[in-house]
Structure 1
């Protein structure tokens, strides 16, 4: 069990290490922080922390760096989250007011989060399958081309261009569109997927051929939203902020494992925390053992999706937690306002 002063020393070591990227020694701690005790006492505190496996010596120098366990103690004992500046909050609000498309909104949010944290930001695109169909438009572009436009109750729009085998009769197109809307409007995309085979029932001859081809396009639109997708931005931040390439290589490799990353982000437990943090070896996958993941949830299309950052374990957790929390809150607010 370490003392409260030792925990203060741990906080100072983490703060200095994040800032300088160099191991922190007792002399530096005494010079930079007002502990009111001698360097020898600080060395004893550091010995306690090392015995508790909260700090370690990376090599033979007198400096120490935090361990994953040390970062965990620090994060769990954060007494407060540093609020974003007025300029940062205004930047978030400004870009969200300019974007009306839900997917573009998530993309812009991820980019903004990357800028706020100087880290790699990740955003989970909300699945359409929990949304309901508000309207289906079939627009003739030429004699043999039709634009299918699927509009959900949350305002999201999915489009496909369909090449038709024979020339399109406008009356037939109107008839097919009317039947499709009568069958699908008001149903969730999950329910619509189950009703898709019924769409061709009333038709025969050329009408049935046209309806069948349009049904295939609708199936593609529905299936394209069955799998969750990630938006990733900010890889260049690592090159700007990390002098040692060996420290960013694990993060770059982790970014390639998008399926694994998506699962790790989705499985983070937000039950007790608005922002969940997984540090280093707490991640089950070996490729993420030198990486920390911070994630929060945002509400969209009547379901929850995740937003967060990925970076080296040596990061400014206090600042980054505040940024992730703020952007996730703004996203939820904008999506709720759009749905209303």
Structure 2
């Protein structure tokens, strides 16, 4: 074994022991329980090299060592995710969620299970699980100044908006209204609420040039009325776990404030790369409220072999906790939950799934 390989083992031992004991780790503990066949003096030299490299530190004189954020990063990068642990977590999820019928209820309960499995705070974004779609747009000429725009969705929603016409468009004739109505229905019928803006811009070309100003105004009203259907929501659970782990945070109140802020959480999750399970540690988190925390997250709703026309929503799920967390446990739990939710959405879409659980090493090779 080379000295670099041994030092990686020493770092791994310090992380695991510190996570379990909450106490600084001595060279004697590493030599007796983790890296056997090597003298304590050699381990001390390795620890000195790791400290010089900024991967561990000594919290106070005569104490053992604890990992730094850089040390946790190296540990996570070389962590081999246990497929057996992921499979066990998925089986547990299936057992606890099989009687739940609503997809929203499934996600909410899965978040509670995730918080229990990890001992951290769990978060999940509720996706546009069954996108509401435009069924019909109607235009009613109330008078020369006002136009009523009515949007009916496939889910039975009816949204009304009043359009005050500019002077040059007041008193539109029936031909103009029919032209705009027919064009916007041709462009938007069956389109998901979140894609109305893109589809409406294409439909503009279907309108007579003389009616395009009116078309643009009607399109703006439709997009405004359907805007509420595009709002993401966040489900959280396990905030009490962080309160109990307050000693691991410099300021746990800041982390709890983030958990209470829906818009902040949505921003944090949307800044995460669309990839398999990953970890951001301490200063790697862009939001200052999580500067002393770690986020283990994954996307769900896509993966495997998907039919070309399947429109599956992409959302995020993860856990937030102190940098001194059990990363193996958290990674396995987040992987299990994201995989379970993805399978559920894929099953509803009629697509298939054929992606096996990958180790960290395999994921790094494919990214």
Q: TM-score, normalised by structure 2?
A: 0.66
Distance 1:289 1:246, change over 3 A: closer
How many residue pairs match? The answer is 282
How far apart are 1:336 and its partner, in Å?
A: 1.6
Structure 2 counterparts to residues 155-170 of structure 1, below 5 A: none
Q: State the secondary structure of the residue aligned to 2:230.
A: coil
2 CA distance for matches of 1:68 and 1:25?
Answer: 19
1 CA distance for matches of 2:235 and 2:330?
Answer: 18
1 CA distance for matches of 2:61 and 2:263?
Answer: 39
Gaps of 5+ in 2: 137-151, 161-184, 201-220, 303-310, 351-367
1:319 aligns to 2:321 (yes or no): no
- Match of 1:238? 242
2 CA distance for matches of 1:61 and 1:287?
Answer: 33
1 CA distance for matches of 2:79 and 2:106?
Answer: 30
Gaps of 5+ in 1: 137-148, 152-156, 163-181, 196-215
Aligned mate of 1:262, from 266, 274, 291: 266
Aligned mate of 2:190, from 186, 189, 197: 186
1 CA distance for matches of 2:99 and 2:157?
Answer: 22
How far apart are 1:111 and its partner, in Å?
A: 1.1
- Match of 2:41? 40
Distance 1:297 1:235, change over 3 A: same
1:122 aligns to 2:120 (yes or no): no
1:304 aligns to 2:308 (yes or no): no
Question: What per-residue deviation string (whole Å, max 9, x for no partner) do you get for residues 271-311 of structure 1?
Answer: 4xx11210001112222111111111111762211111111
Aligned mate of 1:331, from 323, 336, 341: 341
Contact 1:124 1:307 survives alignment (8 Å): yes
Query: Which deviates more from structure 2 when the two are superposed, residues 8-17 or residues 262-271?
Result: 262-271
- Match of 1:282? 284
Q: TM-score, normalised by structure 1?
A: 0.71
2 CA distance for matches of 1:288 and 1:86?
Answer: 30
How far apart are 1:17 and its partner, in Å?
A: 0.7
Distance 1:61 1:269, change over 3 A: farther
2 CA distance for matches of 1:190 and 1:258?
Answer: 19
1 CA distance for matches of 2:13 and 2:191?
Answer: 56
1 CA distance for matches of 2:262 and 2:84?
Answer: 30
2 CA distance for matches of 1:269 and 1:295?
Answer: 9
Question: What per-residue deviation string (whole Å, max 9, x for no partner) do you get for residues 152-208 of structure 1?
Answer: xxxxx7879x9xxxxxxxxxxxxxxxxxxx99763322466888xxxxxxxxxxxxx
1 CA distance for matches of 2:37 and 2:8?
Answer: 15
How far apart are 1:11 and its partner, in Å?
A: 0.2
Query: Which deviates more from structure 2 when the two are superposed, residues 182-191 or residues 55-64?
Result: 182-191
Q: State the secondary structure of the residue aligned to 2:98.
A: helix
How far apart are 1:260 and its partner, in Å?
A: 2.9
2 CA distance for matches of 1:64 and 1:158?
Answer: 62
